Chains A and B, each alone.
Chain A
Amino acid sequence: EAQVTQNPRYLITVTGKKLTVTCSQNMNHEYMSWYRQDPGLGLRQIYYSMNVEVTDKGDVPEGYKVSRKEKRNFPLILESPSPNQTSLYFCASSLNSWSSNTGELFFGEGSRLTVL
């Protein structure tokens, strides 16, 4: 089954304790991206990747890191989490650029992160 898998789905952590949210897709997609969703602010892009070893900042990259060493995986790293990073996070992937004819985005189920 074609899917985007995120882990963990729920996490409560404390300020400063490094954490990684994993994202994996099984569709051989080139484009992958991370979003955070906060009440009243919609889905804001954190980072995106056009292909292996190619990543770039979205609108809200501060406090986050990513890597794309393999095509299928795109982990989101919070080196020193802070309470303002408490949010609902989504990973998404598409075959090609999101604005192309083959740009349908497939989303993971979301990861709800709470930083105390």
Chain B
Amino acid sequence: DAKTTQPTSMDCAEGRAANLPCNHSTISGNEYVYWYRQIHSQGPQYIIHGLKNNETNEMASLIITEDRKSSTLILPHATLRDTAVYYCIGGFGNEKLTFGTGTRLTIIP
């Protein structure tokens, strides 16, 4: 069973910020939250990860709530190439890992 909950799908207008939420209520204190995305049938690609503090890199920003039970991935200026399935992972508490079905983000021209 996936330990994260994400919306099945979302749309975002090109050029706008895409905000993708994730609930990971079972996450333990020393577990990082990771985000990946998968374009078509390619291998998933790492985006960003964090523990407590908000994080930013060249691809995205990650906002983690103070209680660490949820997070939001932000793509600040979405482009058509950001159309993909986005996976949030965390909260398994062991070395097993299943990605679940993620959020299918469609960027609309």
A residues touching B (Cβ–Cβ < 8 Å)? 4, 31, 33, 35, 37, 40-45, 48, 50, 56, 58-59, 88, 90, 92, 97-101, 103-110, 112
Contact = CB atoms under 8 A, between A and B. Distances in A.
Contacts, number: 76
B90 A99 contact: yes
Given A99-B32, A100-B32, A103-B32, A48 B96 contact: yes
Interface string B11-38: 0000000000000000000011010100
Range for the number of chain B residues in contact with chain A: 20 to 34
B95 A98 contact: yes
Contacts of A90: 43-44
A90 B99 CA distance: 12
Given A90-B43, A107-B43, A110-B43, A42 B98 contact: yes
Contacts of B99: 35, 42-44
A35 B97 CA distance: 9
B44 A107 contact: yes
